[in-house]
């Protein structure tokens, strides 16, 4: 399937959903999971999905408090990770609720893997555990 910019469906009812908060740890492993806090609302998700890649990266860099993402390699990798996680959800045609669940799990696993220096098997185990818990909690 060809990559597309913008999203044409699945946003019904987004105004009634609560924003999701995600703890992010990047750069300072000692800072733990609360190093950065990102709040992404359904409206911001719709804006990201509707934007071209550069605009979407700009929104995500602002939300993730990564203002130097264009010149700082670490910030660039992180913002691109966030964007790729959201693109995966969009291209998989996940609902907004499922997108928030999958995105939240991906971000938490990255944060904890960095903070706790998890190996591949540990990170995958954590991802599996968190994803199953989030799926079970969906309405």
What pLDDT does residue 114 have? 84
Residues of the chain with pLDDT under 50: 1-30, 32, 36
Predicted local confidence at residue 34, as pLDDT: 53
- Concatenated DSSP letters for 40-92? E-HHHHHHHHHS-HHHHHHHHHHHTT-TTTTT-HHHHHHHHHHHHHHHHHHHT
What per-residue confidence (pLDDT) applies to 112?
Answer: 87
What's the CA gap between 109 and 25, in Å, rounded?
Answer: 10
Euclidean distance between CA atoms 45 and 19, whole angstroms: 10
Distance of CA 59 to the CA centre of its chain: 12
Token match 């199953």: residue?
132
pLDDT of residue 26: 41
């Amino acid at each position: 399937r060809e990559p597309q910019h913008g999203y044409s469906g699945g946003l019904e009812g987004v105004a009634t959903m609560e924003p999701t908060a995600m703890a992010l740890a990047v750069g300072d492993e000692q800072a733990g999971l609360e190093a950065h806090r990102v709040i992404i609302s359904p409206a911001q998700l719709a804006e990201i999905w509707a934007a071209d890649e550069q605009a979407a990266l700009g929104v995500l860099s602002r939300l993730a408090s990564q203002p130097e993402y264009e010149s700082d390699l670490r910030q660039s990798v992180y913002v691109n990770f966030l964007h790729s996680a959201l693109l995966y959800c969009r291209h998989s045609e996940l609902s907004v609720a499922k997108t928030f669940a999958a995105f939240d799990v991906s971000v938490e696993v990255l944060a904890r893997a960095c903070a706790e220096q998890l190996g591949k098997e540990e990170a995958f185990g954590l991802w599996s555990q968190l994803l199953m818990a989030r799926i079970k909690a969906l309405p």
